[in-house]
Structure 1
Amino acid sequence: MDVELRHLRAFASVARHRSFSRAAEELLITQPALSRTIAQLEDNLSVRLLDRSSRHVELTDTGAEFLVHAERVLATLDQALAAVRHRVTLRLGFSWLLPHPWTQQTVSRFEESTGASVSLIRTDDPLQALRQRMVDIVLVRGDFDAPRGARTVHLYDEARIAVCSESCDLARLGHLDWTDVQYWPLVVNTVSGTTGPWSWPEDQRPAQIIETANYDEWLETVAANRGIGIVPEAAQRRTQHPALRFIRLTNAPPSPVSLVHLPDTQRTLIRRFLDGAVLAAAE
């Protein structure tokens, strides 16, 4: 007999609600589609499971007996799936400062709805980690070159802010215009930084660039007054360093925040994660 799980779930839902319309709402399908599924089940079994002759749907005697076994099968299957799901992990890569409260909302919704867990993996180069399959999906700030074949989902934009040493002259000015950054030495994180010489037209780029290879090097180089930095505004709320001062930056383009993944990895889990991620970004 060609009986599938979808047939059993559809039948159990109708039997529980005694209603095709309410069962269709629960299963997120149309009522005609649900009716066809029940009809297929009855045809495959060559029995009548539901009595549709009255205003309310009722189980036949055979249907009532079949429901006991169908619910037992579905309960056993759900237990088996739950036992596996709690061992499944989605690896989220990031370089620094995961957004708040987006991260907490997205991760909690994903874990509650799937039973899987999220492993947070910090790496200096998230995109390289994605290429090497060390992570399943990465959060990236700023403009970037995605790996070949990768898919990108834009979440939202962050404002930029300038940061300098407490002993820097900029700390006394109190603000900086985007077009005036060119007159200051600029410290750049070449691996995962959101702002670099590429962020300006060639004739407006800073004359002096100090390169660093990760966020910690970048942070300490700015604190040592080797130059100024440009970061998303979230860094002001999350970075605690006594030698740093954050300066208002005017007329700066926003910095995008995106998720990047490869289409052939953890498809179902990534789709569920993206659904929650986009929802949290919109709130």
Structure 2
Amino acid sequence: MDEQVLPDGVRSPAVEGGSANIELRHLRAYVALCEEANYTRAAARLHLSQPALTRTIQQLERLLECRLIERTSRRFERTDEGAELLAHARRILADVDAVAADLRSRATVEVGFAWLLPTTWLAATRRRYEALGGRITLRRVDDPLAALDARSIDIAIHRRETELPSHLESRMIATEQRMIAVAANSPLAEATDLSWADLADQPLVVNVVSGTTHAGSWEQSDPNRPIITCRNFDEWIELIAANRGIGGVPALARSRAPHPGVVYLDIPDAPPSHVYLAWHAKPEPSRSVQRFLGVA
């Protein structure tokens, strides 16, 4: 069975008839013409030129080897065959549209994240989206924004505050308390009453791809401060455990990412970090992504 690519990108299966194929575009054009009873109005409704609509109807008549519309200047009138086709065409189109709508409603949205998913938000969003018939799959990637830009995921969850390209859009979904992670054998592990400013000269481990904390997270920082960089959370936590430096991390790391070589310290005046969703805004996102954003 052949298929036709429609203007909206949906592939239209063809219905075999005679030596050629009747396509959904023929049926849609014919139904619109019958309902409007006027070529000009039907062409406008279908976003076609009038000659294009006329050619489509004539092609349908050739495929069926019968006349569907009586040619008269006084009125629009269907033949008996045309009336019979109209009833079947409406049923066929309704069935196809219903199936397409159902499949779209059950579409899977792939959500990419680097580390430490905001579980409360995710549970609520998954419940609401799946209540609409959709599905969410999670994919662990080192750089969610790069994966989103490459279209290997539909939605990126990220914490890194960055300027996005014009075709991507972002929305903040959560604010998180920030802690400091230090090596278990570091003198800081036993320190009390630390302030954020007290840590401005400490060697700092920075996840340059998806981390939340960098030298600029302090208003005044030692320009000679050692900065140790890495590219993912696993490297980051191992560098902390090796006492290469301290690192900032959302508070949920204490329960979600325990490590025998790392101690998490509460810093009362630590600036909060934020969680963002990002998606492709240009071209317009798919219906499933729009539904996800609606419940997220």
Does the alignment reach a TM-score above 0.5? Answer: yes
Query: Structure 1 206/250 Cα, relative in aligned 2: closer, same or farther at 3 Å?
Result: farther
Say whether residues 1:220 and 2:220 are aligned partners.
no
Q: Which amino acid aligns with 2:291?
A: R
Cα distance in 1 for residues equivalent to 2:171 and 2:196: 27
Alignment equivalent of 2:149, drawn from 127, 131, 149: 131
Query: Structure 1 78/240 Cα, relative in aligned 2: closer, same or farther at 3 Å?
Result: same
**Aligned position for 1:82:** 102
**Aligned position for 2:273:** 255
Cα distance in 2 for residues equivalent to 1:89 and 1:106: 14
Query: Structure 1 155/78 Cα, relative in aligned 2: closer, same or farther at 3 Å?
Result: same
Cα distance in 1 for residues equivalent to 2:164 and 2:152: 16
SS for the counterpart of 2:264 is strand
Identity %: 36
Q: CA deviation at 1:250?
A: 2.4
* Greater Cα offset, 248-257 or 185-194: 248-257
Q: TM (normalized to structure 2)?
A: 0.64
SS for the counterpart of 2:153 is coil
**Aligned position for 2:264:** 246
Cα distance in 2 for residues equivalent to 1:265 and 1:94: 22
CA contact (8 A) 1:189 1:218 kept: yes
State the Cα RMSD in Å: 2.5
Alignment equivalent of 2:130, drawn from 111, 114, 118: 111
CA contact (8 A) 1:175 1:247 kept: no
Say whether residues 1:2 and 2:35 are aligned partners.
yes
Say whether residues 1:269 and 2:258 are aligned partners.
no
Q: Which amino acid aligns with 1:82?
A: D
Alignment equivalent of 2:205, drawn from 182, 187, 200: 187
Q: Which amino acid aligns with 1:154?
A: M
Cα distance in 2 for residues equivalent to 1:168 and 1:221: 13
* Higher relative contact order (CA closer than 8 Å, sequence separation 6+): 1
Aligned structure 1 segments of 4 or more residues deviating by more than 6 angstroms: 70-76
**Aligned position for 2:219:** 201
**Aligned position for 1:96:** 115
Cα distance in 1 for residues equivalent to 2:209 and 2:156: 14
Q: CA deviation at 1:149?
A: 2.7
Q: Which amino acid aligns with 1:237?
A: S
Higher relative helix content: 1
Structure of greater Rg: 2
How many residues get paired?
A: 209
Q: Deviations over 1:191-233 (max 9, x none)?
A: 1101111222354567111111110000111011111111011
Q: CA deviation at 1:103?
A: 0.7
Unmatched tracts of structure 1, length 5 or more: 4-69, 278-283
Q: Which amino acid aligns with 1:260?
A: A
CA contact (8 A) 1:93 1:135 kept: yes
